[in-house]
Amino acid sequence: QVTLKESGPGILQPSQTLSLTCSFSGFSLSTSGICVSWIRQPSGKGLEWLATICWEDSKGYNPSLKNRLTISKDTSNNQAFLKITSVDTADTAIYYCALDYGGWFAYWGQGTLVTVSS
């Protein structure tokens, strides 16, 4: 059974760095073809893909976030991570991680709400 769960700080101040963790089970990020992606959704709005990391450590980033993103993984502990630097109020959203089989997101976590506020 595949499960994913996101964790984060809940609230942080503008200009700080957001650190998110995705803890998963039911699959391994060392298996060929497996990737984990991060997607976010501001309240009442649409979905925005942020970044992807794959089994062989290839990575993809959304250029709209202008080099603020860093994705990484800890295969032995079944975790993936996302850092976003210099956050502002526009980064307030629900952040999801998802199992990415080939570009489509077959399983999603429950999401973690991140609020950026002074």
Partner 1 sequence: DIRMTQSPASLSASLGETVNIECLASEDIYSDLAWYQQKPGKSPQLLIYNANSLQNGVPSRFSGSGSGTQYSLKINSLQSEDVATYFCQQYNNYPYTFGAGTKLELK
Q: Which stretch binds partner 1 (CB under 8 A): 11-19, 25-33, 48-56, 83-91?
A: 48-56
Q: Which stretch binds partner 1 (CB under 8 A): 11-19, 22-30, 66-74, 103-111?
A: 103-111
Q: Dihedral (C-alpha) 39, 108, 13, 45: value to the nearest 10 degrees?
A: 60
CA 95/CA 6 separation, integer angstroms: 8
Q: Considering the rule CB under 8 A, would residue 108 count as an interface residue with partner 1?
A: yes
Q: Considering the rule CB under 8 A, would residue 113 count as an interface residue with partner 1?
A: no
Q: In the numeric block, which tokens belong to residue 61?
A: 């980033």
CA 101/CA 70 separation, integer angstroms: 21
Interface with partner 1 (CB under 8 A):
37, 46-49, 52, 60-64, 96, 101-111
